Structure formats: C-alpha cells, structure tokens
Structure 1
Amino acid sequence: MNTIRREQKAGIYMGFLSAAGWILVLICMFFLTPPEHYLLYFMLVIFLGFTEYFPLPVWKGSSSLSFPIIFSLDLVFGFPAIIFSYALVVMTVNLLHRRPLRIILFNPAQLVISYAAAKGAAVLFFSGGFFADHLVPMSELAVLIVLFYLINNFLVDIVLWIRPQPYRFSVWMQKWASEVFSAFISFFYISLMFFLGSQENRGNLDVFAAFFFFSPLVGLSLLSSTIARLKIEKNRLNAMFSFTKDLNQTVHTAEWKDGLTNHIQELFHAQAVFLIRKEGNWKFDFKDGMTADTDKPLESAHVGEIKDVLVIENRKKMSGPLDYYFHKGIRSVVYSPLTLEDDCIGVLAVGRTRTYSFEPQDIRSIATLANQLAVALKTKSLITEQKEKRVLEERNRIAREIHDGVAQTLAGAVMNLETAKKKFSEKPDEALLLMDRSLHGLRGGLKQVRESIYALRPKPTERVTLQEAIQKRVEIIRNQQTFSLDFEVRGNPFPMPLYVEKVMFDTFQESIQNTIKHGQATKAEVLLSYQSEHVLLKIKDNGQGFSLYDAILKSKNEPHFGLLSMNEEAEEIEGSLQIDSKPGEGTEISLTVPIEKMRGDEEND
C-alpha cells in the first residue's frame, strides 16, 4: 500500500537524520570543557528549556523563541557546549511530552544539524571567521538566523512531504509565517543585547543581567504559546460545531457517512476509521482508509471489552479488541464507545500509521464525536420507528375505512340483490326497487374504492421534482382550459423534502382549481423561485377576486382543502402563506418556505 511505503520512507529519512545529529553530539562531547560560570550556564539552560517546552504551536510541529538563548550559550561557552546542551534540553522536553522514540531522537538531531550547518555556512560566507575579535555585525547575525530557520524548516518539510498525510500549501504558509515571526524576534533580541552591552563585556555576561534580559523572552514564549494553543482549540471547537451541525442535518440521508468520514479526516488526519453499530447483531456502518479486508464476524464479547475510551498507543506492544479489522500498517488506535443510558449502541474507531500520535485533545474530541453520534443515531432510529408507525397507522385507517365503508356497502348490495332475486317472480316492482338501491350502493362503493386507491398512490412530487410536477399539471390544464397559464422557474432548483414539495404542489393545484372554478380569470401566472434563504411559490390571476374574510368563514363550513387548510399545511412545514385578493382585482397567493428549516430532510412521511 502506498501509504505504508511513504511512512517507511519517512521513517528511513528520520532515522538517517537522527543518526547524523547524534553523531555530531557525540563528537562535540569530546571537546567539552567545564564552564567557567556554572550558575550562568545552568540559568541559560533552564531558560532554554522553558522556551522549548512552550513553543509556538504550528501544524504538525512547533516554532520556539529559543534562538537568542542558543546564540548566547554559543557565544559565552562555545560551540561544543551549545550542541550538547541544545540536544539534551530538546530531548528532555520531548520525553516530558511523552512523544514516541523516533521523535525524541529526531527533533534534537535536526535542530543541532540546522544550527551547525547554518553557523558553518556563515563562517564560510564571511571572511575572517564568524566570531573574529568578538565582532558580530548585523549582516552576519542576519545570515546566521536566516540560514538556521531555512535549514530547520526544510528538514521538517521533507518529512511532511514524504508522509501520506496531506500537507497543503496554506498549511505550509501558516507554518512559515510562524517561523518568520520567531526569526524576527530572535534578530531583534540579539541586536538589542549587543546594543545594550559593551564590546568588552559581551563574553562576560553575568547572572543578574542574563536573568533580567532573558526573562521577558521566556514570558513572551509562555504568552505566545498560550495564545496559539487557545487559537488551535478555538479552531477545533469550530470544526466540532461544523461536524455536529452537518451530522444533525444529514443523519437522515444516505450521504451522512461520507460527511462523517470527511470531518474525521479534517479533525484528526486519520488513516483509518470505522463505525460499528448494534442492530440486533453488531455490524459495520462504514469503513474507510486502511482497514483490513476480512469477513471475520463481529463478536459481542470483543465489542463488550470497550467500556470506556480505549487508547492503543503502539499496536506492537498492546493489542486492541478489534485489531483484526485494521491493516497492519496502522500503529495507534483510539476506540470510543457510543453510549446512551449505560447502553453501548456502537463503537467509533480511529487509527493512524504512527505510534503515540494521538494527543489528549485528539482523544477528547473523538469521545465527543462518539457521544454526538450516539445521540444522532438514536434520533435516526426513533424517527424511523415513528415513520414505520405512521405507515402502520395509515394502513389500519384504510383497512377500517374499507371495512366500515366499502365492505358494508358491498354486503348491503349483495343482500338486496339476493332479496330481489327471491321477489323477482312474485313482486317484480319491489325487486326492481331493491336492484336500484343495490346499484346506487355499488356506485358509492366504487367511488370509495377509487378514493382509497388515490390515497395509496404516490404523490406527483414523489415521482418527479416539484417543478416537473407543476409543469406537467400546467400542460394538462392548458389542453383542457381556454385561459392563458404561464409557468416560470427562477434560481437553481434543488431537491427539497418530499412533504414540503407535496404541500407546495397541493397549494398550487388548489389555487389553480379555485381560479378555474370561481375566479373567472382569463390569465394566470405561476412562479417558482429558488432563492438564497427561501423558496417562493406564487400564483397570480386576473380574475374577479374575493373577500378574504367571507372566504375564511365559508372555508370553515365546507369540507374541502380551503384557505384554512392551505394555511395549516403551510404552518406544518414552517412556511408562510400570504393571500392578497379584493373583489374585482384578481388574486395573488404566495407560499414562502425557509431553506434553513427544511435543510437535511429528504424523505416525507
């Protein structure tokens, strides 16, 4: 698999660079001499540790403000001392952060190589030696700083380019912007140090001067690190909000799984993810990335082991309950149960190709996603049950109507026909009367059967889109009526929930029927407009119009769709029905449905 090969290449590169860096450290150890000022040395090393422990976080790495302290250590105690101290401090910081061994070895190595290469290039570039007579011109200082940050970032960029995780240009620009900021602060701080000090005492920096001079740098490092981490958490919260919003809107559709996968990739840059759910038996809802191609059935015993969030930092040292569903290239995994009322209804598993790659905030975010998924899936299950219940209730209603209506009518007709048959020879008049009654009953029964069939038929908008259903109905009316009927569609049509399309189509059809039956219009216009915030349906005619007050009173007493029913249907879809009509001035009916209220629903009742 290409992902594994790229991870292997990145590992080889990191191993080679780590070996080179630590060889340099070992060589420098042979040239170490005891420092003349122990207290000053240890203070600078402690300050170096603070600036390295609280760096500016950037994507897949960090940028510290430690260069002025590194430069001062080199200037006062020499090149071997800074190489040894720098590597030791960075390694200690990585150990405190509990990073994987390859990172513990790589980070110090690439930093000391960057500094050694930058200093060597600067010495070669300027004649007379870099620190000749303790003279450090600003041009030489600028070259050293620029070379250090260029080389350091280039070495890190190579790893990020080789790895299979996406490394976008925008992220690269963000990282370099942070590095440029660090380089500027370093140049300013070191320049200030030489400006404030005299040429003779630059090499004799005392403890108190070092403390007061570098304390603001440490404070700036702490403050910048805190602000940057808060910004990262803010972005993470925004991503989580976007995820939960999209999940609630799409969980009832077939595309919700694709959206979930995309959000997980955006949040965690995972190489493998799957979701299993309990529906009678345990089954996969979806699998994506480096998951194993196996037919091994899910077992309740294994899934039952996941009582709480389970983190597998290194699969070679610790196995997980569902290991056989991940490709062997996945090195670390987080299992998070989907729990509702102490009942586990599913498990979300996220894997990466690197060991110890999940930070605490990643684990908390995965657990939050799992909790949100549990609620959304439970809601989806309840909605499905409600729809099934509605279908069952509708079937029972139709069965009762058939039993109480058509069946009773047919039974009465059969009894009348049987009685007429017996009386036909003796009392033909009574027999004919019974036959007429039976015929009337059968016709009524036929009407009821047709009404039941119509109730069971799909609505026009279930077979085609709303605009197509209206267009088809307009063509039928044009062929049957003599007045002019125009239909216009504006904007970019998009699918809406079927129950919304049904109400809009029924409103159109009832309005046109009222125009034909009562309006005495010669022309009608229908507009269907898809706008940025709502969808508008407008029917306007040049008929005789009517009094809205009188029509509402009439609608209360007549068992048909009517104005009140049209308004009730509009309220059910959270739409707004507006009727503008006066006697002799025609009628305009507008139905407005907000897009925000119906986004995400794609199935009607």
Structure 2
Amino acid sequence: MDTVQQRVLEAVTDELGFPRAAIGLIAPLTEKLGGWHLSPARPPYPDAISPAEIRPLTLEPDQSPLAQAILLNQPLTFQNRTPLSSNEALNTLVGNGETLLLPFWLREHPVGVLLVSLENTAEITEEKITVLKLVASQAAVAMGTTMMCIDRARQLAIEQERNRIARDMHDTIAQSLFGIAFSLDACQEMLPYNVEQVKAELGELVQTANQVRNQVRRSIFDLWPTHLTLEQFQADLQSYATQCEQTRPFHVDFQSSGDFERLPSAMRRNLYRITQEAVANAIHHAGVDSARVTIDVAPQEVSLHIQDQGKGFDPKKALARSYNREHFGLHGIQERIHGMGGNCQFQSRPGEGTQILIKIPL
C-alpha cells in the first residue's frame, strides 16, 4: 500500500508539477483517517510535524470540511483561512495556501483523500486539474481494491483462527471433559459404599481438571513447544490416550521412519492434533484397547496412518451428516489436511475396523 501511495504522489508532484501533495487513507477497522504520506517527503516548515505523527482523525459529517467532503464524496477547494479540520498539523500538511481536496471512493465506500497544494496558481491549468482528478479516480480504485484484499485476508485469518481454536477445543478440551464427566458418573455409582476409592478417583480428576485448564490456555494462545520432538509426540499421545480412557488400559502402538525433525513446527502440531482426534475416536467409539499409529517422513511427502480393529463405521454416512459439533472430528481432520495441501482417506466398514490414510507433500 505504501508503494501505491508514493507512486500516486510522485505522479501528482513530479509529473503534473503540483508543488505539494498528501494522501491519507481510512483504516477499515477503525474507520479513522490516517496513514499520511507526503510528497515531497520533507515537511513544508522547519518546525512542522511529521506526517507519521498526525493522529488518526474520526470522520463525522458535522465535524469539519475535510470530513464532510470525504463522506459526501465532494471535491473541495479551500483557503488557509478556513481550517480543514480540528487538527492543526493536518491543516498545514501541504502548506498554508490554497488546497484542493479530492476524496477517494470505491463503489459506495470512502477510501481516503488526496490533498494537493495550489500555491502556484499561474502554472496550474484546467487541463492539469482534469488530469489530476483522473489520477485521483484511478488511485481510488487501486488503493481501494488493495485495501479490500487486505481486509478480506484479515477476515480470512480471523476465520481460520476461530476454526483452529474450535478444532483444538474439540480435540483436547472436549475430550478431556468427556473423560471427567464419565469418571464423575462412575464415582456417583460407587457412593456410599466405596468412599476411599471415590476419594482416590476425585484426586485424579483434580489433576485432570488442571490439565484441562492448561489446555484452554494452549488453545487460546496457541502455545506449543517450539520444538516438538518425535519422543514428545509419542509420549504426549500415550498420556492423552490414558486420560481419555481411565476405565481400562489403552495402548498406542507407535511406529515411525524418516527424519521427523525436518518437518515444519506447524505441520508437526497439526499431525499431532489429527492423531489425537483419531485415537480419541478409537477409544470412544471403536470398542478396542489399542490403536496403531505410523508416521513415515519421505523426501517428497509425509504419511500418517492410524488404524484400529474396532467396530468400524460408514465414512460416507458420517461425513454426509450436517456440519455440527457432534461430528466435528472427521471434518476437523479433513480441514487440517486440506489446509496443508494433503489428502486423506477414511477406510472403514461396520465390524471391520478403521484406517485413516493421510499424505502431505513436503
């Protein structure tokens, strides 16, 4: 955006010959006018404030001539005796002489404004003013389109972050809370006959609740070990499986090949979350006491294979269900894989176990 602003200013001052010009843009989030650029870059007076130091200006129709002209999309020529705004530094940004104000609009939205000094009126012709307005019109399209793209990218980033938090909450917090609720139900059944056993169970649940609290922090702030090793991957996965299934032992048969350390940290994190969700599904739905996890890091791709010998299911029916919280797991796995440019297959039939085959290019 800075490059576009500077190019427009150079066209106004260097090519059209206007003595000074400035551009301010409206921030999409705050809807305030700021981000000023000036040409020539030096301030008009020795003690003048730098354009970067001019505080953002709120635009209200009855606030100032500047705000009115921008909001109404009306070009304006004003003299120094008429304050442009309540900001003195902004009023003298292009000098104390006559100044032309040209609003930038794209479709139905104000984008910013171009201020052009008209001090040397003898050298300024109607033809130059016409060309100047044409430049301003083209600049509005260029900068407005760029700002829209930036805003859309920001909104997409926000949406992706929301989806990340939702996936992480499902993959970690929801599963842990499921285990806590299951254990509390069991404690309720044991009372009042097995008080000592209930006490011991409640002590473990306190630890699990503390772990959930840490998981909440990790999900919100995306805190993760800066260097997730293969050993941590395996140890955390087995610990997670143990937390999910407290009524009977559950074993994760973990195998790996290739150089896990060469994978980017974000990919390692996603692989762990995918494996975590698949293991949780095996624990809660497959009716088995073990699952096999295989990671193979090849020169061109990484493969992840999760397998259990449990009840199985119909992948087409499961994935065809409405996108809701209950069936967020499989969709979450797909989204993570597709987000890394990979592909996944759910191979399963009722009564024949489940295999999840994942390949991600490197």
Structure with the largest fraction of strand: 2
Give the alignment's TM-score, normalised by structure 2.
0.49
Structure-1-length-normalised TM-score: 0.33
Larger radius of gyration: 1
